[in-house]
Structure 1
Amino acid sequence: MYLVSCEEDIERLDWYCSNSTPPLFPSEKEHVLVCVRLRVAGRPGVVLMDPGYHLSEPMVVMEDGLSPHAATHVAKCGTTTKTNTYEIYEHNSSYVVWRSSKETPLGTSKCVNVVHVSRPFLSGLDVAERHNLVYGMKTLINRARNGEIRSGFYFTLQPIRTAKLTLFFSDDNGEQFRVKVPFTKFLDGPNSVGHNTSLERWSPARKCAWTCGEEDLWREALACVARDSGRGREIFDILPQIASLLADSHLLDQLLEINAAIVNMSKDN
């Protein structure tokens, strides 16, 4: 069992997989996941485990594509359907090609991702996760065991005066709710978040109030996110810290400049 690195949205697949290791200069390495090598009656393959990201169960990827090779993985969230398939790259077994598509009422988008499985991931400073430190979109997503999204939040790096936190969650019937909160609300520290807010699931009466537009129901949405994450009130403490960072214009400018440099460096991969 070892960690392996993944590169997302590859445009030149044959070029990227032409050597035993990925091309050094343009690699961003979006994230890492766990890999286990296996043989079934002498047939090689790998098991990929990516909990908390796109998948909720291990994916078996055999070089010959035969059993126990994983079937197409489909996950639905509201009106969005995500489909994932995995296969060993036919010309170089050092790589697993992960093809992903997302269908929404607005259309279908597709991307090709590559997992480098021939060597273990060793250093976050060198090959993985470095972009996520400065990446302009930050997310926290809570998933059910079947992979469906339950709740979460996201925001983009921008000055505190315009920055907003988007909270989203689904009720027990699968109905989705979403609300935006200005980050300036969190500048007063932990007390601004509402530590007295209940983490219990909300009642039908509160659901009615939500649809009627009560202003402070974002606190209950945040409570849903905190509860589903299993991190309790730690989430309540994080947001004032993020607000403080967004209010630091010097730091924010540096993050955005570094991110732009990485995007420019890897745009041809």
Structure 2
Amino acid sequence: MLARVAARGGTVASHFYVASAEEEIDDVEEYVAGCRPPERNENDHCLMACQVRVSGRRGVLLIDSGYHVPRTVCVMADRLPPHTGELPMDCLSGQLTHGYELSPNHKFAICSINRTTAAGTTSTDRTCIFIGGHFENPYAFAEYRNIFHTLRSRVRRSPEGRLLSGFYFSLRPAGHGAPALTVFWHGTDGQRRRCRLPLSELSQPELLTEPQLEALQAAGRQLRLSPDQWQQLLQRSVDALSDRKFIDRVLQVNERILYELGTDDPPSGWQRPDV
């Protein structure tokens, strides 16, 4: 991300730094009361931040690919322009709306995420982004969690937040459903379409039907990838889904991260994997 900012010229890239974010905070006021996150925390992902002043007014710019936010967000302490305000985005399961504010001590940006499912159910989660300093330890919980997260995806959004195309797959324990990769794209009628492709067929392209091939081509094209880039990305995904030993090891490491480094309580009978 920094390289893309730097490529636009000027010195703005030198003012960005890596910030950390912790999701689903219950007591936001207590969390942001200090000058740093609590000693016991789970920084779920990282993003880019740049503190700014507009005519003496404090604010921060955020570039957040971890949440697939399709534009640079500006969070002003007084919530006046150029404050981004609410940012609507759609997702495969419904609608998201991100809202941003700065904490009273200006050490955190608080992101409120309102979710509305297709069935009309609503919920709100709040994420605290520490902007008072650089993310100092890329080998702690956040980086481990990103590397070993069991849901992998790549998506493309419009600047207005519309989900355009992408694909995703999950790494699951043996016996928990056949492995598969799902692609989604928009048809000529403007409607979003989705196609689930079992690994057994992806591993043998000659078994793919014409509609499945068309789905793959449409998703890759709308991701703005060349045929070679799309084929390489698909092949790497197929290789990962085909390697049972690799998946089992990732799942084991993921459990250790959650139950030893993190704050989640292990399920009854859980034993520490030997990894």
Into which bin does the TM-score normalised by the smaller protein fall? 0.7 to 0.9
Matched, 1:180 2:177: no
- C-alpha contact (below 8 Å) 2:51/2:59 kept by paired residues: yes
Residue equivalent to 2:19? 4
Q: One-letter code of the match for 1:102?
A: R
Matched, 1:157 2:171: yes
Residue equivalent to 1:223? 217
Deviation at 1:79, TM superposition (A): 8.1
- C-alpha contact (below 8 Å) 1:78/1:174 kept by paired residues: no
Deviation at 1:98, TM superposition (A): 0.1
Q: Distance in 2 between matches of 1:219 and 1:70?
A: 40
Pair 1:193–1:165, CA change in 2 (3 A): farther
Report the TM-score when normalising by structure 2: 0.77
Matched, 1:103 2:100: no
Residue equivalent to 1:83? 97
Deviations 1:16-57 (A, max 9, x none): 334322234431x33322222111222211111235844322
Q: Which has the higher contact order (CA 8 A, sep 6+)?
A: 1
Match of 1:167 among 168, 183, 200: 183
Identity %: 27
Report the TM-score when normalising by structure 1: 0.79
Pair 1:110–1:183, CA change in 2 (3 A): same
- C-alpha contact (below 8 Å) 2:22/2:41 kept by paired residues: no
Residue equivalent to 1:94? 107
Matched, 1:236 2:231: yes
Q: One-letter code of the match for 2:244?
A: S
Q: Distance in 1 between matches of 2:136 and 2:23?
A: 19
Q: One-letter code of the match for 2:182?
A: T
Deviations 1:199-223 (A, max 9, x none): xxxxxxxxxxxxxxx9332222222
Match of 1:253 among 245, 248, 251: 248
> RMSD value over aligned CA atoms?
2.7
Matched, 1:131 2:145: yes
Q: Distance in 2 between matches of 1:245 and 1:229?
A: 21
Structure 2 spans left out of the alignment, 5+ residues: 1-15, 266-275
Match of 1:55 among 56, 60, 69: 69
Deviation at 1:155, TM superposition (A): 1.1
- C-alpha contact (below 8 Å) 2:87/2:161 kept by paired residues: no
Q: Distance in 2 between matches of 1:241 and 1:120?
A: 33
3-state secondary structure, aligned to 2:128: strand
Q: One-letter code of the match for 1:138?
A: R
- C-alpha contact (below 8 Å) 1:62/1:69 kept by paired residues: yes
3-state secondary structure, aligned to 1:256: helix
Q: Distance in 2 between matches of 1:241 and 1:57?
A: 28
Deviation at 1:77, TM superposition (A): 5.6
Matched, 1:142 2:156: yes
Q: Distance in 1 between matches of 2:258 and 2:192?
A: 33
- C-alpha contact (below 8 Å) 1:153/1:166 kept by paired residues: yes
